[in-house]
Amino acid sequence: MTEIRKFSGVILSLLLVAGCTVKAVGDPDRPITINANVVVDIRGLKETATGIEDLVAQGGK
Amino acid sequence: MRRSLFMSAIIALSVIAMVVPSVFAGSYDLKEITPAVKQALENRQARYSQLQSLKQKGAVGEDNKGFVADLGRDPQAAAMVNSENRDRRIIYQALVDQNKLGSAGMTEVQKVFAEVQRDKASSGEYIQTPAGEWSRKT
């Protein structure tokens, strides 16, 4: 019984460390996991995109 | 004793697995302005006024993939759209590569830039909704 528990614990830990893949839904308040342990924070990305577009607009005026 | 050590190790691993991804989230940027990115940004700045003029005339619109689209109302628009989209792609690709977002990351980057362009569009300019419909911004 103890061996089974240990085995289950190890498997669960491996699953958590390896991460998982979920489908992107585009909610700005919810980070999206694209690949194992690669998380895209949509809000952070939007701030970056806004900064780049501001830079283009300011330089182009 | 051994059992409690084992359980502590499992808990520690679980916490690390849950915390590490969120620590790295939200730090996207152009970490390095390569010569190609610099050139793309300068090109976009140089054509900005002309592109805005075409948008206001209804000849060019912002699509839902982060690019501009030629709406067929001005013969000058096609060349402008091709150049602008080439430069945007360089910038998007740099963001994906430098932040290691992978191939699926490009779709997210494009969607986010499209959203920003819709937000920044002026009244009367053509924008494409996420569902694919074109309309004039009110």
Residue A9 forms part of a structural domain: no
Domain with A25 in it: 21-61
Residue A27 pLDDT exceeds 80:
no
d(CA A31, CA A25): 10
Q: Does B17 reside within a domain?
A: no
* Largest distance between two CA atoms of chain B: 79
List Cβ neighbours of A23 (8 Å cut-off, separation of 6 or more).
none
Q: Do B107 and A24 touch (CB under 8 A)?
A: yes
* A60 pLDDT above the threshold of 80: no
Is residue B11, in this structure, part of any structural domain at all? no
* More confident: B68 or A25: B68
Q: What is the pLDDT of residue B55?
A: 97
DSSP per residue, A10-35: HHHHHHHHH---------TTS-EEEE
Among residues A4, A8, A52, the alpha carbon closest in space to that of B112 is found at A52
Contacts of B9 (CB under 8 A, 6+ apart): none
- pLDDT attached to residue B22: 40
Inside any domain, residue A12: no
What average pLDDT does range A19-39 have in this prediction?
Answer: 52
Full domain range(s) for residue B73: 32-136
Q: Does residue A16 surpass a pLDDT of 90?
A: no
Q: What angle do CA B23, B26, B30 make, to 5 degrees?
A: 120
Long-range CB pairs of A52-55, under 8 A, 24+ apart, other chains included: A52/B30, A52/B41, A52/B91, A53/B113, A53/B116, A53/B117, A53/B120, A55/B41, A55/B45
**Contact in structure between A24 and B108 (CB atoms under 8 Å):** yes
Residue B97 clears pLDDT 80, i.e. is over it: yes
Residue B31 sits at φ, ψ, to 5 deg, of: -70, -25
> Is position A49 within any domain?
yes
Do the domain assignments include residue B26? no
A9 at interface of B, judged by CB pairs closer than 8 A:
yes
The answer to whether A39 faces chain B, any CB pair under 8 Å, is: yes
Specify the pLDDT at position A33. 55
| Comparison of pLDDT for B116 and A17, the residue scoring more | B116
Interface test with A, best of B33, B107, B112, B127 (most A CBs within 10 A): B112
Tell me if B21 is assigned to some domain: no
Which of A26, A33, A60 has its CB closest to that of B48? A60
Four-residue CA torsion sign, B97, B113, A55, A42: negative
* Structural domains in chain B (count): 1
Return the pLDDT at A31.
61
Residue A40 located in a structural domain: yes
A31 with A42: CB under 8 angstroms? yes
Closest-CA residue of chain B to A56: B45
What is the band of B94 on the pLDDT scale with cuts at 50, 70, 90? Answer: very high
Say whether pLDDT at B24 is over 50.
no
In a domain, A60, yes or no: yes
Please state the domain count of chain A. 1
Residue A43's pLDDT band, with cuts at 50, 70 and 90, is confident
Q: Evaluate whether residue A56 is within a structural domain.
A: yes
Residue B14 pLDDT exceeds 60: no
- Cite the DSSP H helix spans in B1-138: 2-24, 35-56, 77-98, 102-120
Query: Which is more confidently placed, B125 or A39?
Result: B125
